Amino acid sequence: MVEDRRLAVLRAIVEDYVATEEPVGSKALVERHGLGVSPATVRNDMAALEEEGYIAQPHTSAGRVPTDKGYRLFVDRLSTVKPLSMAERRAIVTFLDGSVDLDDVVHRSVRLLAQLTRQVAVVQYPTLARSTVRHVDLIALHDARLLVVLILSTGRVEQRLVDLEDPLTETQLTDLRSRVNRAVVGERIAEAGVALHALAEDVPGADRAATSRVVTAICEAMSDHRSDARVAVSGAANLARYGDSFDTAVRPLLEALEEHVVLLKLLGEAHTGGAVTVRIGHEGPYQELAATSVVATGYGPGEQALASLGIVGPTRMDYPGTMAAVRAVARYMSRILDEA
């Protein structure tokens, strides 16, 4: 019972500090929250929480503020993640439904996430190595030229032109298209490459030259790793609203936003199953960013987690609301990729 009450006091301190950016005193807690106990009891609970390292007193005679340990306990004990409002859900659907390709999905999503959370949003492009082949199309253009279209599970589309020694008949083109798709559809990039090379070696001599050129074009498209270390960032201007209290972290965070490798390490590994991870303060990989927290999750079609997205901001943030927004945007991006 005492533990539950102290957890309620900690929760109230976190909520008030996030909302006001002012150290929280016992009188304010009693006035704003229905804790059902006297101010003296609240003061005793605050003293116990401070002794255990969950809150701290920044100045003599000031109220208390949560520590990283306090935020950690608050996040771990969240019974539910604050649901998004109807307006927020409609905004996600309306904003993302107009996406035309993968680049558009990523850029719309990162802007939307920054708007919903009022933090710095980061979205990693789907990593090619984890994607599978969804479809390959071979389109006859003119004479002996083909357009090879590779569609991956990430929604990414690659096109290559192939010049053949001799034109293919419609029957030959249909047969080659079928054999290529039987070999690679549903396979990951690495396995698809192996299957394609085996296909090129097994075809009859008359068709081997055309098959070899098509296979080479597809393999080149699959080996294009331009997006594997790319991220999109939005909302850096949101840092300005934290003023002096976040000044010590603004400069290193702004520098980090220019380094994609740093941002990818901040986001961490993409997790399947919709799990949202929260790394608070010193739990992160960079000590110079110890005044920040990262809320992240994975996204991808079906049960695949092809990449990560999340937000980076001060430890003083609305964790329940931020976690809900991150999870919702990731789920909607996953749905778009699944339907692509």
Residue type, position 227, single letter: S
**Assigned domain for 297 exists:** yes
Domain end point (choices 52, 76, 100): 76
How many angstroms separate the CA atoms of 51 and 49, rounded? 5
Domain that holds residue 216: 130-222
270 part of a folded domain = yes
| 123 lies in the same domain as 243 | yes
- CA 263 to CA 119: how far, in whole Å? 14
List the helix and strand counts (H, then E) for the chain. 12, 10
Both 211 and 240 in one domain: the answer is no
Helices 68-76/2-20 angle, 10° precision: 110
Q: Does one domain contain both 163 and 234?
A: no
Cβ-defined contacts of 177-181 (< 8 Å, 24+): 177/136, 177/137, 177/138, 179/203, 179/211, 180/136, 180/138, 180/214, 180/215, 180/218, 181/135, 181/136
| 197 and 238 part of one domain | no
What pLDDT, on the 0 to 100 scale, is given for residue 249? 64
What whole-number distance in Å separates Cα of residue 31 and Cα of residue 34? 8
- C-alpha 76/C-alpha 74 separation (Å) is 6
CA 195/CA 200 separation, integer angstroms: 9
- Map residue 67 onto helix, strand or coil: coil
Which pLDDT does position 44 carry in this prediction? 92
Three-state DSSP class for residue 163: strand
Q: Residues 40-56: what's their mean pLDDT?
A: 93
Q: Which of 76, 99, 114 is the last residue of a domain?
A: 76
pLDDT at 148: 93
Is 59 a member of any domain?
yes
33 and 101 share one domain: no
What's the CATH number where 29 sits? Answer: 1.10.10.10
- Residue 149 sits in the same domain as residue 31: no
- Which range has the top average pLDDT, 104-118, 151-165, 261-275, 300-314? 104-118
Question: Residue 272: is its pLDDT beyond 80?
Answer: no
Compute how many other C-beta atoms are within 10 angstroms of the C-beta atom of residue 244: 7
Best-predicted range by mean pLDDT among 94-103, 130-139, 295-304?
A: 130-139
**Res 157: pLDDT:** 83
Is residue 319 a part of any domain in this protein? yes
The span from the CA of 226 to the CA of 326, in Å, is: 25
Question: How far is the first Cα of the chain from the last one, in angstroms, to the nearest whole number?
Answer: 52
Helix (H) or strand (E) holding 336: helix 319-339
Q: What is the pLDDT of residue 206?
A: 66
Domain CATH number, residue 258: 3.30.450.40
| Predicted confidence band of residue 12 (pLDDT cuts 50, 70, 90) | very high
Number of domains making up the chain:
3
Q: Judge if 294 and 264 occupy the same domain.
A: yes
DSSP 185: B
Please give the average per-residue pLDDT across 211-217, as a whole number.
Answer: 91
Encode 104-138: b = buried (16+ Cβ within 10 Å), e = exposed.
ebbebbbbbbbbbbbbbbbbbbbbbebbbbbebeb
What are the Cα distances from residue 9, in Å, to 136, 149, 158? Answer: 59, 59, 55
238/308 same-domain check: yes
Contact 253, 239 (CB under 8 A): yes
Together in a domain, 60 and 154: no
Q: Under a CB-based contact definition with an 8 Å cutoff, are residues 15 and 32 in contact?
A: no
pLDDT band at residue 224 using 50, 70 and 90 as cut-offs? low
Residue 31 in any domain: the answer is yes
Q: Check pLDDT > 80 for residue 37.
A: yes
Average pLDDT, the chain: 85
Cα 262 to Cα 122, 255, 284, 294, distances in angstroms:
11, 10, 11, 12
pLDDT band at 11 (very low <50, low <70, confident <90, very high): very high
Question: Does some domain include residue 45?
Answer: yes
Amino acid of residue 110: V
Contact indicator for 283, 68 with CB cutoff of 8 Å: yes
Q: 185: domain CATH number?
A: 3.30.390.60
Considering the domain boundaries, does residue 81 fall inside one? no
**Rounded-to-integer distance, Cα 268 and Cα 44, Å:** 39
The DSSP bridge partners found for residue 142 are 145
Residue 147 clears pLDDT 90, i.e. is over it: yes
Question: 252 and 121, same structural domain?
Answer: yes
Q: Are both 105 and 139 inside the same structural domain?
A: no
Kindly state the average pLDDT of the residues 222-245.
73
Give the pLDDT mean for 119-136.
85
Q: Specify whether 205 is located in the same domain as 309.
A: no
Burial-class residue 319 by CB neighbours within 10 Å (0-12, 13-18, 19+).
buried
Asked, for residue 7, whether it belongs to a domain, the answer is yes
